Amino acid sequence: MVKVIHYYDYYQYIMNLRVRLNLLITAILLIFFVSMGYTIMKGSKESIQEGVESANRVTMQLLDTVIISSSQNPEWGYTHDVLKRFLEELGHVRSSNIYLYTLQGELLYASPLSKYRINDPPPPKWFETSLAPKEVIDTRTVRFGKLIVKTNPIGAIKESWAKMKHFFLITCVFFVLLNMLVYWMLGFWLRPLEPMVEAITKMGEGDFEARLPDFNLPEFAVIAKNFNRMGDSLQAKVRENQRLALIAQQTADAIVIHDLQSKISFWNASAEKIFGYSPKEILGKSAYVLTTKVHENELRKSFQLIHSGKNIHNVETQRTKKNGEVVDVAISFSPLKDPITHEIIGDICSMRDISEKKIAEESKLKLEENRKFTQLIQSHIEDERRSLARELHDELGQYVSAIKIFASNISNKAKKLSPEIEKNADSVISAANQIYDGMHSIIKQLRPGSLDNLGLAETIKDTVNTWQKQYEHLKIHLLIKGDLNHLNETLNINIYRIIQEAMNNALKHSKAKAININLVLNKKGFLELNFSDDGQGMDLKKVDQTKNFGILGMQERIQSLNGSFELISKKNQGTQILISVPT
């Protein structure tokens, strides 16, 4: 309905302009034709006057000649009789009315009516009045009579009227045809105005996508080109402003605009979310509403710096929410300048809630402390294990060796004396050997000596060989790439313990048939461990890793080394541990 009204308005506008222009051209044509008619009538009047005067002179000269001839020839009779006979034979004289009277005033003769255009209707009175020249009356007094000659232009006026009628007819036809032609041409020429008015109206209503088509007329083509260029520019500006407004509204930072009196004039959705004030509640209020008493002086100094044209970036401070809660924020200020005068008219303030960041930083510090503490504990544990392994080897090893020696001596001496004593001594030797083997196994568990003497690679190879001998049904594939001899002690023992723990878990829970251990030192200086099995796997969603001390211990070891730990497992698809540690 609105479009129909608009199109009707366009049509009315175009029609009004078309009619006005047509009326103007009509008025000009009328003035032209009236001027032309006036000129023609003026010329006709002068021509009629000249013709009447000429005819009157000729007539008077002829009559004077007759009067003189009659006077010179008395035998013709009285002059008035001679004139009468002459006039009766002469008949109508153009442009003159001749009257002959007796001296007593009796009419003897009057010119007959002209037969020229006798059947034509008489010309209008206004026309006759306009063209009729001043009447001239000539009088001649003769013997026994009086001759009166009056000018009569009616014949010439009728002739002029006949010509003027043709002129008027031609003029009217030409005027009508010309008006029709002009009206049509105006409609044709003004046709481009319809899309122009429509486009301008749409743009005035905010539709900046309105564009003009190409026109054949150069002037309209230039207008269309400039209009479309203006539309493109406006559309680009509007889109830019919309993007900026969208960014300001949807950004996670609180965007606040203050005027020079520090009053809030803009408040985005994030500001409402952070501080709890709706735009209706906060707009027009002072910025100090959001400031704690402790930070009021700081905010005052910030406004002074901003109003002097300086910027403030990422200053960590505190602000107050609607409910009175204090929130940690990182705040930035920029001057707001008038785009024309470049004068500062306020400031733009962005505030980011860094409460979670503060908590994260505190948590990170605590985590780092825990890592160091864990690393320290593990270091002490390894030291204790090393010390315990050394004491077991040095102290208990000597005692077991002594027992074996004593038992061997007893067995040798009792061979001939008492077979029963020999048998018991051999039992003691066998038990001592078992104790010695168990002690060495415990020592390896506590601290493999080869780790200190031979390095990580040889220790793992030795350990894998031991596992392979113990579990013959299990296929263990070991791949080691890179030079691992230069690795530090802490990294060596932690990687060894992780492989040890992963192997224990696989042996206890996976029911695997094959295990792959890949230990690679890459070119970037990272030691990468890929431990995988083809066992029954597990559903990680159902496993509480915080209660699985084996996995948790591996994660803590890797975290203490600033490395990454990833556990991948699916039901009936095996388990994979991926570890990457900087060396």
Which CATH number goes with the domain that contains 230? 1.10.8
pLDDT of residue 15: 55
Question: Are residues 212 and 326 located together in one domain of the fold?
Answer: no
Residue 10 pLDDT level (bands cut at 50, 70, 90): very low
Question: Are residues 83 and 180 located together in one domain of the fold?
Answer: yes
Question: Are residues 13 and 92 located together in one domain of the fold?
Answer: yes
Task: Give the burial class of 154: count Cβ atoms within 10 A of its Cβ; 0-12 exposed, 13-18 middle, 19 or more buried.
Answer: buried
Choosing from 400, 423, 447, the residue where a domain stops is: 447
pLDDT at residue 497 greater than cutoff 80: yes
pLDDT of residue 450: 61
383, two tokens: 């030291």
Residue 251 pLDDT level (bands cut at 50, 70, 90): confident
Residue 263 DSSP one-character state? B
Residue 206 pLDDT level (bands cut at 50, 70, 90): confident
pLDDT of residue 446: 62
Choosing from 187, 205, 226, the residue where a domain stops is: 187
Q: Which of 173-187, 385-399, 422-436, 534-548 has the weakest average pLDDT?
A: 385-399
User: Of the candidates 274, 275, 270, 298, which has an alpha carbon nearest to the alpha carbon of residue 285?
Assistant: 275
The fraction of the chain above a pLDDT of 70, given in percent, is 87
Strand order in the sheet with 137-142: 107-110, 96-101, 145-151, 137-142
Higher pLDDT, 420 or 382: 420
Residue 6 pLDDT level (bands cut at 50, 70, 90): very low
pLDDT of residue 517: 92
pLDDT at residue 374 greater than cutoff 70: no
User: What does the pLDDT average to over 507-523?
Assistant: 89
Residue 286 DSSP one-character state? B
Question: Are residues 363 and 317 located together in one domain of the fold?
Answer: no
Residue 4 pLDDT level (bands cut at 50, 70, 90): very low
Task: Give how many domains the chain has, as a whole number.
Answer: 5
Question: Are residues 495 and 438 located together in one domain of the fold?
Answer: no
pLDDT of residue 478: 92
Question: Are residues 345 and 359 located together in one domain of the fold?
Answer: no
Residue 384 pLDDT level (bands cut at 50, 70, 90): low
Residue 165 pLDDT level (bands cut at 50, 70, 90): confident
Residue 527 DSSP one-character state? E
pLDDT of residue 204: 77
* CATH of residue 259: 3.30.450.20
Task: Give the burial class of 554: count Cβ atoms within 10 A of its Cβ; 0-12 exposed, 13-18 middle, 19 or more buried.
Answer: buried
User: What does the pLDDT average to over 511-520?
Assistant: 91
Residue 387 pLDDT level (bands cut at 50, 70, 90): low
Cα 137 to Cα 273: distance, rounded to the nearest angstrom: 113
The chain-wide mean pLDDT, for the chain, equals 81
Question: Are residues 318 and 264 located together in one domain of the fold?
Answer: yes
Question: Are residues 84 and 24 located together in one domain of the fold?
Answer: yes
User: What does the pLDDT average to over 484-505?
Assistant: 85
pLDDT at residue 177 greater than cutoff 50: yes
294-313 pLDDT, tens digit per residue, is 888 988 998 889 888 889 88
- Give Cα separations from 454 to 287, 289, 486, 495, 498 (angstroms): 70, 70, 11, 15, 19
User: What does the pLDDT average to over 417-445?
Assistant: 72
Q: Are 481 and 520 in contact (CB under 8 A)?
A: yes
274, two tokens: 């952070």
Question: Are residues 155 and 75 located together in one domain of the fold?
Answer: yes
Contacts of residue 394, Cβ cutoff 8 Å, sequence gap at least 6: none
pLDDT at residue 440 greater than cutoff 70: no
pLDDT of residue 392: 60
What b/e string do you get for 223-247 counting C-beta neighbours within 10 Å, with b at 16 or more? bbeebbeebeeebeeeeeeeeeeee
Give residue 360's domain range.
Answer: 354-447
Q: Are 459 and 499 in contact (CB under 8 A)?
A: no
pLDDT at residue 449 greater than cutoff 70: no
Higher pLDDT, 408 or 546: 408
Complete DSSP assignment for 453-473: HT-HHHHHHHHHHHHHHH-TT
98, two tokens: 């001749």
Write a three-state SS string for 35-66.
HHHHHHHHHHHHHHHHHHHHHHHHHHHHHHHH
User: What does the pLDDT average to over 285-296?
Assistant: 88
The fraction of the chain above a pLDDT of 90, given in percent, is 7
Choosing from 326, 353, 380, the residue where a domain stops is: 353
Question: Are residues 270 and 292 located together in one domain of the fold?
Answer: yes
Contacts of residue 120, Cβ cutoff 8 Å, sequence gap at least 6: 158, 161, 162
Question: Are residues 407 and 543 located together in one domain of the fold?
Answer: no
How do the residues of the chain divide into helix, strand and coil, expressed in percent and rounded to 5?
A: 60, 20, 20
394-419 pLDDT, tens digit per residue, is 566 666 677 777 777 777 777 767 77
Q: Coil, strand or helix: which one is 418?
A: coil
Pairing state between β 137-142 and 96-101: unpaired
User: Of the candidates 481, 2, 437, which has an alpha carbon nearest to the alpha carbon of residue 207?
Assistant: 2
Phi/psi of residue 185, nearest 5 degrees: -65, -35
pLDDT of residue 399: 66
Question: Are residues 544 and 526 located together in one domain of the fold?
Answer: yes
User: What does the pLDDT average to over 216-233?
Assistant: 82
User: What does the pLDDT average to over 119-142?
Assistant: 82
Residue 506 DSSP one-character state? I
Residue 545 pLDDT level (bands cut at 50, 70, 90): low
Whether pTM exceeds 0.75:
no
* CATH of residue 564: 3.30.565.10
Higher pLDDT, 370 or 533: 533
pLDDT of residue 383: 64
For the CA atoms of the chain, what is the radius of gyration? 65
pLDDT of residue 444: 63
514 pairs with which residues across the strands? 475
Residue 389 pLDDT level (bands cut at 50, 70, 90): low
